Structure 1
Amino acid sequence: MVDAVDYEAAVDRIIQAAREGKPYGVTALAVHGVMTGVGDPEHLWRLNELELVVPDGQPVRWALNLLHKAGLPDRVYGPKLMLEVCRAAEEEGFPIFLYGSRQAVLEQLEANLKRRFPKLQIAGAMPSRFRNLTLEERDQVVEEIRKSGARIVFVGLGCPRQEVFAYEMRNLLGMPVIAVGAAFDFHAGFLREAPPWMQRYGFQWLHRLLQEPRRLWRRYLPLNAAYLVLLLLQWARIWTPPLKKPRPPRELRYG
């Protein structure tokens, strides 16, 4: 499900896909994203069908190193990956498109990205409708993004909706579609990122939980505990949990 890559390899793959104008679904998974796939065979299918899944969370990187000897020195954090791709897009002259979040966030995000990358071309931006799209709305989104001249799309819809969007829309758009989680809110200044020490030692989830406890406790507390148990059982070779077999989605949701 998760690729053992670093920032350089991830950016290279994304930019190469943008050069070739080919569909390329990307997401950055932390523990919540991984466990969402473990518990839902249809979503696991989507994740496995994406072209690139990077280890966003430190516990995900630790698992790759512990169980598969990946030797990764660092995770590939979604918000940082977004900036690295923007830097490469600026150098290549590839316009980007921003899809998701709220209008106020997008406006500030555009302004902040332009300050950081003065030559970056932002072809357009579209806020989320905070629900699944109809077929007509899906076609409108595809048309607007393609007509904008964008070569790369960043998606900030939250997990798992952004992964659904990347899986279902990448072939229609014919370009890299990168799900980056809370990166829009972080880079727009609407959410504070965790201090470096919390990120380094895998406690970023706790920082997010303290910011939005009512919304996030169901995401972090039970899933983090389940992930840790599964990881320890596999590491100790006591038991290999029988994962649900991936199953093709029965219907499209359009994000």
Structure 2
Amino acid sequence: MINLGAHSVLGVRVHAVDYDHAVATILAAARERRPLAVSALAVHGVMTGFTDPEHARRLNGLDLVVPDGQPVRWALRLLHGRALPDRVYGPELTLRTARALAGEGLSVYLYGSTPAVLERFADNLRAQFPGLRVAGMEASRFRSTSPEEQGEIARRIRESGASAVFVGLGCPRQEAWAFEYRDLVGLPILAVGAAFDFHAGTLAQAPRRMQNLGLEWLFRLVQEPKRLWRRYVLLNPLFTLNLLLQAARVRSFPVALPDGSERPLRYG
């Protein structure tokens, strides 16, 4: 189990941990029914915080942010000397967390995506992990919700008896959701993005070799060029440029926290 602390990657706090630590942290919160907000960030996720200071504070207010993309994992090594054996890929973390929950007779609530995707995702989870109970599911409204609606959503999740929540709203909406609902729900929330579509079988994952080489973005771009070209063509070079500037200490990126304070470039 590896936990090498949390470190600034362009001002976003990323935890240098492995799958075992992430799953154990989520499972402990599920057992104790206490709040925990978790997200897996690739380059695009980091850049949502880099380009939006307000969202950076939300990201840095999450309890655990794991390096979903290989480039983020490599950034931890380049900037802070924190070498990890592998990234903590959101879709894989989803399955490992589901397996751990099932092993202890715990349950999960699914929030996000569409009703059709939720049904297929839930069926596949139950088939793969027979001991896992899906306590409830709720599709995204694809719009902002009022405080009253937020309260009702949180109440339904709590009253479902769920031990944890998987959220698939896409980045950055799901991270904002995890931050806003953390204390309302009072349970571990795992923002897993495309895992809903991947594990529902409605979206293909990149081949393992492309994933290992950090080229998953290229596979996704070919799949959905109209939707994703700006994300990858514009943000990937911007990430690389600023990563090199941070590595050369030309620029520093302190971690801005929700309370308005800042922490130094590196901290554990």
TM bucket, shorter chain: over 0.9
Runs of 4+ in 1 over 3 A off after TM superposition: 241-249
Q: Secondary structure at the match of 2:242?
A: helix
| 8 Å CA contact retained: 1:5, 1:54 | yes
Letter matched to residue 11 of structure 1: V
TM-score normalised by structure 1 residue count:
0.94
Pair 1:141 & 2:149 matched: no
What is the Cα deviation at residue 201 of structure 1?
A: 0.3
- Most deviating of 136-145 and 122-131: 136-145
DSSP-derived class of the 1:3 partner: strand
- Determine the C-alpha separation between the residues in 2 that align with 1:216 and 1:100: 20
Contact 2:61 2:258 in 1 (8 A): no
1:49: how far off?
0.8
Distance 1:245 1:90 in 2: 37
1:221 to 221, 225, 233: 233
Q: Which residue of 1 aligns with 2:212?
A: 200
The C-alpha deviation readout for 1:37-60, integer Å capped at 9, x for no partner, is 011111111111100000000000
* Among 162, 168, 182, the residue aligned to 1:150: 162
Deviations 1:75-129 (A, max 9, x none): 0000000000000000111110000000000011111111111111110100000
Task: Tell me the SS of whatever aligns to 2:204.
Answer: coil
- Aligned partner of 1:240 in structure 2 is 251
Q: Percentage identity across aligned positions?
A: 58
Contact 1:41/1:244 (CA < 8 Å) preserved in 2? Answer: no
Contact kept, 8 Å, 1:22 with 1:175, in 2: the verdict is: yes
Paired position in structure 1 for 2:26? 14
Is residue 90–residue 192 contact of structure 2 (8 Å, CA) maintained in 1?
yes
Alpha-carbon distance in 2 for matches of 1:129, 1:92: 32
Q: Which runs of 5+ in 2 are unaligned?
A: 1-12, 261-268
Aligned to 2:135: 123
**Which residue number corresponds to residue 191 of structure 1?**
203
Q: Which amino acid aligns with 1:15?
A: L
Contact 1:3 1:52 in 2 (8 A): yes
The answer to whether the Cα contact below 8 Å between 2:124 and 2:200 also exists between their aligned partners in 1 is: yes
Equivalent position of 1:176 in the other structure: 188
Residue 171 of structure 2 is aligned to residue 159 of structure 1: yes
**Over aligned residues, Cα RMSD in angstroms?**
1.5
2:91 alignment partner AA: P
Question: Which structure: greater strand fraction?
Answer: 2
Higher helix share: 1
Task: Report how far residue 240 of structure 1 moved.
Answer: 1.4
Correspondence for 1:88 among 100, 118, 124: 100
Q: Output one character per residue of 1:123-179: Cα deviation in whole Å (capped at 9) or x when no partner.
A: 010000011111222122111111110010000000010001000101011110110
**How many pairs were matched up?**
248
TM-score scaled by length of structure 2: 0.89
Residue deviations 1:205-227, cap 9 Å, x none? Answer: 11111111111111111110001
Shift of 1:242: 5.6
Please state how far the C-alpha of 1:188 moved relative to its aligned partner.
Answer: 0.2
- Check whether the contact 2:60–2:255 (CA below 8 A) recurs between aligned residues: no
Q: Is this contact kept in 2: 1:96–1:122, CA < 8 A?
A: yes
Q: 1:38 corresponds to which residue?
A: 50
